[in-house]
Amino acid sequence: MKIGIKGIGLAGGFGCGISEFEQALDRDRSEAHTVSIETVKGKIEVPGLTADTSRLKDFINPKNLRRIDHYTQMALLACVLALEDAGLWKARPAKSMGIIMGTGYGSTCNTFDFQDLTTDNNICGFSPIQFSNSVHNAAAAHISAFLNEKGPNLSINQFDMSPCCAFMTAINWLAEERVENVLVGLCDDFSKIMACHQYFLSLNDNTWNIPVGEGSVFFLLTKDETSFCPYGYIKDAGTGSFDSMPENADYILNFDRLVNDRIRSVFSREIKKALENKNISSFEHIYGSMPVNMGFDIAAAGLSIKTGKGWKSLPGFNSGIREICCLKAGVSGEYGLICLSSN
């Protein structure tokens, strides 16, 4: 069974849509914004790769978005852009479709917003709209409602491994013929808690040079062999060890910098051994630090397959290199792998 990527939609600190993502990869940078955060030690200003969701009103009546928080709007925008990229936004076929939403932080950033980061909390400042969107599966539910999709709907929260778990679940759904297409979405909000944490760590450690980011990326997966899948096919998806890494492949590495020194040492040693003499890239500086940023690595891999382009140390896709593998090393010592191929 071949599972292909028919469309990709994304929004983040780099911009909105697959073309702006490609432009950010071409110039190898994104412009961070300054975010002000009130803390118990006073106001601090931190860099942040934040997303603009204003384009969503081109697809959905703004009145219908008034009760939806920023996190859900990012997810909804990426979802719509994925369907548009696949040519299915205005005329979706009458095929069953599942929706899977993976997230690391989920609605916790929204929850901390209305709890505030200071000691002077005021119950009158609580927003009922924010509170109603604090449920972890709110974004996936909103997407189903807007698309009027009645297929299976699942929210997955496994921090750094959420992208791998979401893809593994989608593959199972398609293999079991529960649905004919699956929208796999990944989304994380800008975490003021993590930005604050990173700010104070960076005072004594200048290696914390990648800002906290936010964004969402959606993939339309299909097993229909008659469908054109410009972003390639999923060759492998899972979690496990570095013992059996594909040989004839390029790698996009995503290393969570919050891991402790012991795990970092083990990762560095195993990665060096497993990926020796292989082309390795990292694009975290394009979209920022967040649990599900592996999703943007997968989008970059798919885009490289579609265009034949290479960025930084990732060479152009050619007949000699048949796979691009995205490797995520998580905060607790876990790791996940998703590989794409052109056929």
Name every residue whose Cβ is closer than 8 Å to that of residue 162 and which is 6 or more positions away in sequence: 102, 103, 104, 156, 186, 291, 292
What is the residue-level pLDDT of the chain in tens, covering all 343 positions? 789 999 999 999 999 999 999 999 999 989 888 888 888 788 888 999 999 999 999 998 888 888 888 999 999 999 999 999 999 887 777 678 999 999 998 876 655 555 554 445 555 555 666 666 667 788 899 999 999 998 999 999 988 899 999 999 999 999 999 999 999 999 999 988 888 888 887 766 665 678 899 999 999 999 977 788 999 999 999 887 666 677 778 889 887 666 555 556 666 676 767 677 777 888 999 999 999 999 999 999 999 999 988 776 565 555 455 689 998 887 766 788 999 998 8
- Type of residue at 294: M
pLDDT reported for residue 19: 95
> What gap in Å lies between CA 50 and CA 218, rounded to an integer?
17
Angle at 252 (CA atoms; ends 331, 155), nearest 5 degrees: 55
Q: Please, how many CA atoms are within 13 Å of residue 240, restricted to the half-sphere of its CB?
A: 11
Query: In 3D, which of 302, 308, 325 has the Cα closest to residue 5?
Result: 302
The sign of the dihedral angle between the CA atoms of 141, 65, 193, 186 is positive
